[in-house]
Structure 1
Amino acid sequence: MYRYQTLEDVPLGEIAACLNLAFSDYDIPLCLTERELAHLFRTSGVDESRSFGAFCGDQMVGFMLHSCGLYHGQEAAFNVGTGVVPEHRGNGISTDLFSLAEQVLRQTQIKSYYLEVLQQNEGAIRLYKKQGFSVTREFAVLRASAPTGSAERGKVEYMEFDRFDLDHMGQCRQIGPSYEHSTGLLRRNPELYEVAYRREDGVSAFCVFSKADGQILQLGCRSVEELKPVIQSLLSRVHPLTAKNIDQKEREVLEMLAALGFKTAAKQFEMVKRVDS
């Protein structure tokens, strides 16, 4: 009934139409223009040769988007998004897409396969566990609507991302980013990002953020107290401000962000499956 193929030769407009229809009945419907989808493909590193569509006749009725790159020191794939249009759900399309994806990813030397899912999306979590995924981390998405207090003037500097040496931070601990915020992926489009940082006997704290909306993508510090003025400075420039995918094990960081007015907007699970065994 259905045929499956990679998305290499599928027009972006056709993919956008399928994606929008697939998410049309969600609590927060998604509606992306072709231009917005192109930006998503670019920033998420979507690889059309390892992404797939499901077709019924000439109509695209499902999709599975993947990005591939180094994550935790090994070749990994990340599921950027999966969806099936409402009238074709329950026919095994997602299962077929996962089966095809795993086969292709294994052939291309991928070791681990990651995805993220909202913690309240119990149906999707059950599907992913049935496919062999297990929870590896819990993330919080935080948002602050306005600055609180005043940033320390003259203490925080700003630099273009491609001029900032993330590989030599000395004692500055990088707070583990999610796949989509990993250094290798950000380096594919360095012109889209900027860094706010504090220098005290070397870089003592930094924050990588998106130029477009100020979204916080990476954090690093010697101590949370040194990171606080960096966040305050950024919040004074951009508000509302989102900090996406902060590992919930980072209690001190989460408490500092809460003190600055950040509130939890969503919680996600990161899930992983080994595909090299």
Structure 2
Amino acid sequence: MEIRTLKNTAPSQLVACFNEAFSDYFVPVSATEEAMQNRWRASRVDFNLSVGAFENDKLVAFIFTGVGELNGHKTAYNAGTGVIPAFRGRKLVSELYHFAIPLFKNAGITQCTLEVITQNEKAIKAYRNVGFEIGRTLHCYQGEIQPAISKIPFEIKRSKEIDFEELKPLQPFVFAWDFMNDGIKAANNYECWQLSDNNQLKAYLLLNPATGYIAQLGFDKTSPENYGLKLLQEVARMQRSFKINNVDAHSPETIKALSDAGLVHFISQYEMRKMLT
């Protein structure tokens, strides 16, 4: 068994190992190379700091590492960890992190973070053994939204240009890694929908129109008008099926807007963190 970085590993080998590792996951996964390339871009994956375990030169376990800034710390984000079934039970996740952490420190990284499904007790135990601690809980939603019955009396703007400074006052919480502003910029496949009332921005969402994936939803929570719900219903004029992941459990207004729109909470994740200083 050899542990080394993934900088010289072919993408096809990475994707093959990923699919084998997640073949029996809580949420079935079967990714194409194109989809994984998009995910790695959004997660800002650095393969010089991503690591894998190899048996006879076959990749059998991996950690993809995204690198960026989070809460003032240079951060190593776990953009995916997997071990193929035949090699589980060997504490390879711990071995991979023991190899990777000195690399992280040499790169000036001061914290590690990840998300893990709350039901995945084995993974949570493995991360705790490495020194990760559970932080906030994040909810995931999916389903169909019924469109507004009639045209809503607000101005709706749809654009591929995203002005994050304009959106900042409406951002409801610190978004999870892939959906932070830097992740949206790196992915470069989202469009911005905005709802304005009397020329004032009251709600926005960032949508991948090809997949129905909502990366961010923000709206004015001080008004009795449920602007978030109304924007969701307006976007549903164009398509019906949507998914939004990693909504902070302590954002009741966002959760209510999603539930009122008809989206269903289907799974939750813990955000975990390990400090390196």
In structure 1, what is the equivalent of residue 211 of structure 2? Answer: 213
CA 1:241/1:29 → structure 2, altered by over 3 Å: closer, same or farther?
closer
CA 1:153/1:101 → structure 2, altered by over 3 Å: closer, same or farther?
farther
TM (norm. structure 1) is 0.91
Residues 228-267 of structure 1 correspond to what in structure 2 (within 5 A)? 228-267=229-268
Residue 135 (structure 1) shift: 1.4
User: What's the secondary structure of 2:48's corresponding residue?
Assistant: helix
Residues 8-157 of structure 1 correspond to what in structure 2 (within 5 A)? 8-147=7-146, 149-150=148-149, 152=152, 155-157=155-157
- Root-mean-square deviation over aligned CA pairs: 1.9
Residues in 1 aligned to 2:50 and 2:168: alpha-carbon distance in whole angstroms? 38
CA contact (8 A) 1:205 1:227 kept: yes
Q: Does 1:226 align with 2:227?
A: yes
Deviations 1:119-169 (A, max 9, x none): 111111111112111111111101122415436165321111xx3321244
User: What's the secondary structure of 2:217's corresponding residue?
Assistant: strand
Q: Which moved more, 1:33-42 or 1:208-217?
A: 33-42
In structure 2, what is the equivalent of residue 179 of structure 1? Answer: 177
CA contact (8 A) 1:173 1:222 kept: no
Letter in 1 for 2:73: Q
In structure 2, what is the equivalent of residue 198 of structure 1? Answer: 195
User: What's the secondary structure of 2:109's corresponding residue?
Assistant: coil
Residue 272 (structure 1) shift: 0.7
Residues in 2 aligned to 1:12 and 1:159: alpha-carbon distance in whole angstroms? 32
Q: Where does structure 2 lack aligned partners over 5 or more consecutive residues?
A: none
Residues in 2 aligned to 1:16 and 1:7: alpha-carbon distance in whole angstroms? 12
CA contact (8 A) 1:175 1:218 kept: no
CA contact (8 A) 2:78 2:113 kept: yes
Residue 253 (structure 1) shift: 1.5
Letter in 2 for 1:237: M
Residue 60 (structure 1) shift: 1.1
CA 1:149/1:205 → structure 2, altered by over 3 Å: closer, same or farther?
closer
User: What's the secondary structure of 2:215's corresponding residue?
Assistant: strand
Identity in percent: 26
Residues in 2 aligned to 1:187 and 1:39: alpha-carbon distance in whole angstroms? 12
TM (norm. structure 2) is 0.91
Residues in 1 aligned to 2:32 and 2:164: alpha-carbon distance in whole angstroms? 34
CA 1:34/1:148 → structure 2, altered by over 3 Å: closer, same or farther?
closer
In structure 2, what is the equivalent of residue 4 of structure 1? Answer: 3
User: What's the secondary structure of 2:138's corresponding residue?
Assistant: strand
Q: Which moved more, 1:266-275 or 1:172-181?
A: 172-181
User: What's the secondary structure of 2:116's corresponding residue?
Assistant: strand
Deviations 1:172-214 (A, max 9, x none): 3443211110001211233x11011112343221111223212
User: What's the secondary structure of 2:253's corresponding residue?
Assistant: helix
Q: Where does structure 1 lack aligned partners over 5 or more consecutive residues?
A: none
Residues in 1 aligned to 2:71 and 2:236: alpha-carbon distance in whole angstroms? 29
Letter in 2 for 1:21: E
Letter in 2 for 1:271: M
Q: Which moved more, 1:230-239 or 1:255-264?
A: 230-239
In structure 1, what is the equivalent of residue 273 of structure 2? Answer: 272
